[in-house]
C-alpha cells in the first residue's frame, strides 16, 4: 500500500519545448491581449489622440519657422517632420507595454500563466506582438491624418511600405525595453513613468524634429548615432521626404540609414528580450 504524505504537492507542469510550441503559446497570449484591447477600446482611442495632436501642432505651429535644407516653407517642414512623428509614435508605445506587463504582474496573472505548461518567453512575446498590432493600427490612422494635413510620399509603394516596416521594427524592439521596465517595477504607474522619462531625451536629441546640423557639436554626434535617428533618416529616404539641398551628415548611420536602422533594432531586440525573459523567470520563480 502506498502512503501519500499530506504535505506532498503536485509538481508544476513543465512547459513543452520546441520552437513550434513557443510560437503557438506566444500567439495564444497575443490573441488574449488583442481581445482585451477590443473590449477596452478607450485604451486604443486615447493612444491615437496624442500622435494626432503632435501632427497638427507641429505642422501648423512650427511649420514655416524651421528651415530644412534652406527651405522654410510649411510644406517642406511637414514632409521632413512626418517620419519623426511616426517614429516617436511607435517608440512611445513602450510605456503602454511596460504598464500592461506591470499590471499583469501586480494582479498575479503572470503567476497563473506560469503554472501552465507553456514556453517561458511566450507571455512576453505574446504581449509584445499584441502591442505591435496596436501600434500598426495607430500608424495607419496617423498616416491618414498626415495625408489630410498635406504630407505626401514621393517613392514607389514598395519603398513606402519598407519605410513603415522599419518604423514598426523599431517599435517592436522598444517594446522589449518596456517589457523589462514593466517587470522591474512594482506598479503600472511606475512603469508608465519609467517608460517615458528616457524617451523624451532620446526622441528630442535626434533628427526627428530639427536637422541635427543645427545642434551643438556634442549633441549633434549623439543625435547622429542615435538608433532613433537612423530609423527616422531611413524612413525619410524611403518616403522620398528628404528636402532638396538637405545636407546628409557624414556619420555612418546617416550615410547608410536603412542598414543602421535594421542593425540597431535587431540588437535592441536580442539584448532586451534576453534580459526581459531572464527577469521574468527570476521575478516569478
pLDDT value at 70 more than 70: no
pLDDT tens track for 13-31: 455 456 787 788 888 888 8
Looking at per-residue pLDDT, the higher value among 50 and 259 belongs to 259
- The larger pLDDT score, comparing residue 232 to residue 285, is at 232
Out of 117-126, 132-141, 160-169, 217-226, least confident range? 117-126
Residue of higher predicted confidence among 81 and 168: 168
pLDDT value at 221 more than 70? yes
Please check the confidence at residue 152 and state whether its pLDDT lies above 60: yes
State the pLDDT at residue 5. Answer: 46
Please say if the pLDDT value at position 111 is more than 50. Answer: yes
State what percent of residues in the chain have pLDDT above 70.
Answer: 87
Summarize pLDDT for 161-177 with one digit per residue, the tens: 999 999 999 999 999 99
Query: Domain residue spans in the chain?
Result: 19-283
In terms of pTM, does the model score above 0.75?
A: yes
pLDDT at 277: 87
Say which residues have a Cβ less than 8 Å from residue 220's Cβ, sequence separation at least 6.
212, 213, 249
Amino acid at each position: 500500500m502506498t502512503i501519500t504524505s499530506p504535505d506532498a504537492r503536485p509538481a508544476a507542469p513543465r512547459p513543452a519545448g520546441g520552437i513550434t510550441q513557443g510560437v503557438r503559446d506566444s500567439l495564444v497570449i497575443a490573441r488574449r491581449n488583442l481581445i482585451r484591447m477590443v473590449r477596452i477600446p478607450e485604451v486604443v482611442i486615447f493612444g491615437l489622440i496624442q500622435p494626432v495632436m503632435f501632427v497638427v501642432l507641429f505642422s501648423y505651429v512650427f511649420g514655416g519657422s524651421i528651415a530644412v535644407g534652406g527651405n522654410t516653407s510649411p510644406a517642406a517642414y511637414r514632409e521632413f517632420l512626418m517620419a519623426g512623428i511616426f517614429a516617436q509614435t511607435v517608440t512611445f508605445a513602450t510605456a503602454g507595454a511596460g504598464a500592461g506587463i506591470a499590471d499583469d504582474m501586480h494582479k498575479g496573472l503572470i503567476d497563473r500563466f506560469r503554472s501552465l505548461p507553456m514556453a517561458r518567453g511566450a507571455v512576453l512575446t505574446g504581449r509584445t506582438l499584441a502591442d505591435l498590432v496596436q501600434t500598426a493600427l495607430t500608424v495607419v490612422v496617423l498616416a491618414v491624418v498626415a495625408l489630410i494635413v498635406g504630407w505626401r510620399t514621393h517613392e514607389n509603394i514598395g519603398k513606402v511600405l519598407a519605410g513603415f516596416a522599419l518604423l514598426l521594427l523599431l517599435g517592436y524592439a522598444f517594446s522589449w525595453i518596456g517589457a523589462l521596465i514593466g517587470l522591474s517595477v512594482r506598479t503600472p504607474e511606475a512603469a508608465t513613468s519609467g517608460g517615458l522619462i528616457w524617451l523624451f531625451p532620446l526622441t528630442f536629441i535626434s533628427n526627428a524634429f530639427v536637422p541635427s546640423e543645427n545642434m551643438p557639436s556634442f549633441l549633434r554626434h549623439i543625435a547622429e548615432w542615435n538608433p532613433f535617428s537612423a530609423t527616422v533618416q531611413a524612413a525619410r529616404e524611403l518616403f522620398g521626404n528628404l528636402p532638396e539641398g538637405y545636407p546628409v551628415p557624414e556619420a555612418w548611420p546617416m550615410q547608410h540609414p536603412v542598414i543602421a536602422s535594421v542593425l540597431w533594432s535587431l540588437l535592441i531586440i536580442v539584448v532586451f528580450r534576453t534580459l526581459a525573459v531572464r527577469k521574468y523567470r527570476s521575478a516569478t520563480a
